[in-house]
Amino acid sequence: MNEPLPVPEAASSGAGTQPDLTPQSPERKLIGRGTLVSLSLASFVPAVQFATAPLLIFSIAGPTAWVAALASMIATMCVGAAVVHFARRYIASGSLYSYVGTVFKPWARYLVGASLLGGYVMGVAALVTVVGIYMGSFLHSLGIETATDLVPLLGVGVATVVVVTAIALLGRDTSINAVVVLTAISLPLVLTIIGASVVHTGFDLSPSMDFGSFNLEATLGGAALGMAGLVGFESSSALATETQDAKRSVPWAVMAPVLVIGGGVPAVLLLTMPGMLESGDALAAGASAPAALAANAGMPIWIGQFSDLFLAIASLGSTLAFLNYSARLAQNLAGDGLLPAVMQRVDSRRGVPHIAIVAVAGVSLAWILVFSIALRNVFEMYSMTATLVIFLWVLPYIVITIAAIVGTVRKREMRPILWTASGFGAVAMTWVLIDGVRNAAPGVSSKMIYVMAFITVALIIVFRLSLRRNRTGQRPIGLTAEDIGDLPLLESDGVAR
């Protein structure tokens, strides 16, 4: 079976062709660059990242954890360089799945598509669970002792899925506005706590600059954790076909989480390290980082309590964003014949892939319910799901970095900086996978590497069976991936995907 061909944009107009529905068409309301960048940042929940990532990296790397966080940002930027290389040349809603198809044969699309689809579905499940965990923690702090039990947490999970699915079905713009507003609501409180901690302890960099306790292995472990926290940074590229001037806008949106959040975490570590060291007992007792820092800074107890509520609100926005990204990928896969054709249907009023949205939400919720009940523990289910998300996403990153090198070499382009960055990114992501296997939490989470392999193979089988049934996605005769050049990535019916 041949690979679907990206064809010239000009082929989408003229007699006997489909209507022009490319991103340049005035018939479609397009997303502006500022809106896409805002969505990209908001979907990575800055409030949660700044509240939790510093403590997690500190717990592994110690007082010099900022070095690990900075290394994770640089390594992820190298992967981002490979993604941006393709985003500047092609317009595609399949993101990494579509990009690798311009360099490699169909096996790469199947492999990356299966990993990404599994990663997105698991990512939505993990984010839904995070909403429940933070909400349960907030209610528990108010004296509701059963708030963190299995049934209440699952109830919050079901409610979360219903809410984000309903909002996603209302339309793309409604979803974008909701994600950005939820982030805007949640971020100020976290920044206030960070500021109060700095005022209380003073701007003291000496603990972070004391390299007497520096440990290379621990730093590499912290860097791997930091990179894991940035998994999915390129997800906004799934909206490329709905974005104005996509070849310029998407690269900005792809790199925004890496630069702002990836760069913000080491900054937060430098600022709050004295406060975290002073709050060691509270953190060891299980207090969240915002609550511990707020208490240490002498802030009212209710601020620490409500920080969990605001983190739940922020996570709700991220869940909504990733549900939309997931649906676009599923729609793209269906358009290529790799999933049932019904998945590419678009609501005529709202303009959203409603079947794909409901399907992703349903599978994610089923995963949460089945494994939470089987394990009788939502927290253990979350641990295994979060681990699985990382494992599933690493493989596409490795393939896209290799594709950037192979594609430019094949075209005889001299791109030494891109080659160096992509090579380092591939090595870094390989390390994330190795470190994840080595340091997986005991129990079910330690088996997730095998579950990742099973999910990937199972989805590839589904793709092949669906492709045989649909008999779509044929490449027009006479053109190959090398013939594409710098054209938008369009399918043979003239519709950008």
Q: Tens digit of pLDDT for each residue in 100-114?
A: 999 998 889 999 999
Give the integer Cα–Cα distance in Å for 77 and 225: 15
Nearest alpha carbon to residue 43 among 158, 175, 241: 175
Residue 29 burial (CB count, 10 A): 10
Percent of the chain predicted with pLDDT > 70 = 89
- Average the pLDDT over 38-53 and give the result: 90
Side-chain-facing half-sphere of 359: CA atoms under 13 Å? 22
> Under CATH, domain 9-483 is a member of which superfamily?
Amino acid/polyamine transporter I (1.20.1740.10)
User: For helices 289-296 and 46-61, what crossing angle results, to 10°?
Assistant: 80
Token readout for 12 is 């989408």
Is 340 in contact with 333 (CB distance < 8 Å)? Answer: no
Give the residue carrying structure tokens 């997931």: 326
**Start-to-end C-alpha separation, the chain:** 19
Categorize the per-residue pLDDT at 5 as very low, low, confident or very high, splitting at 50, 70 and 90: very low
- Average the pLDDT over 131-137 and give the result: 91
Categorize the per-residue pLDDT at 302 as very low, low, confident or very high, splitting at 50, 70 and 90: confident
Categorize the per-residue pLDDT at 494 as very low, low, confident or very high, splitting at 50, 70 and 90: very low
Give the integer Cα–Cα distance in Å for 481 and 248: 22
- Average the pLDDT over 162-168 and give the result: 96
What pLDDT is stored for residue 436 in this prediction? 86
What is the signed CA dihedral for 263, 269, 270, 272, rounded to 10 degrees? 140
What is the signed CA dihedral for 364, 436, 234, 181, rounded to 10 degrees? 60
The number of residues in the chain equals 497
**What pLDDT, in 10s, does the model give residues 82-104?**
999 999 999 888 889 999 999 99
Furthest CA-CA distance within the chain: 73
CA 274 to the chain's CA centroid: 31
Is 254 in contact with 76 (CB distance < 8 Å)? Answer: no
Q: Where are the alpha helices (DSSP H) in 279-300?
A: 280-284, 289-296
CA 146 to the chain's CA centroid: 31
Token readout for 216 is 């290379």
Give the integer Cα–Cα distance in Å for 462 and 456: 10
What is the signed CA dihedral for 110, 112, 114, 120, rounded to 10 degrees? -150
- Average the pLDDT over 142-159 and give the result: 91
CA distances from 404 to 59, 65, 411 (A): 35, 31, 11
Is 304 in contact with 295 (CB distance < 8 Å)? Answer: yes
Give the residue carrying structure tokens 């991936």: 481
Is 88 in contact with 252 (CB distance < 8 Å)? Answer: no
For 46, residues 6+ apart whose C-beta sits below 8 A from its C-beta are: 183, 187, 190, 260, 261, 264, 314
Give the integer Cα–Cα distance in Å for 57 and 268: 11
Give the integer Cα–Cα distance in Å for 471 and 469: 6
Give the residue carrying structure tokens 């959040």: 261
For 341, residues 6+ apart whose C-beta sits below 8 A from its C-beta are: 334, 470, 472
**pTM of the shown model:** 0.85
Where exactly are the structural domains of the chain? 9-483
- Average the pLDDT over 171-192 and give the result: 91
CA distances from 14 to 11, 18, 26 (A): 7, 8, 16
**What pLDDT, in 10s, does the model give residues 333-363?**
998 889 998 998 888 888 889 999 999 999 9
- Average the pLDDT over 134-140 and give the result: 89
Give the integer Cα–Cα distance in Å for 253 and 234: 8
- Average the pLDDT over 5-26 and give the result: 33
Categorize the per-residue pLDDT at 473 as very low, low, confident or very high, splitting at 50, 70 and 90: very low
Q: What does the buried/exposed string (b/e) look like for 482-496 if buried means 16 or more CB atoms within 10 Å of the residue's CB?
A: eebeebbbbbbebbb
Categorize the per-residue pLDDT at 471 as very low, low, confident or very high, splitting at 50, 70 and 90: low
Nearest alpha carbon to residue 231 among 266, 259, 257, 270: 257
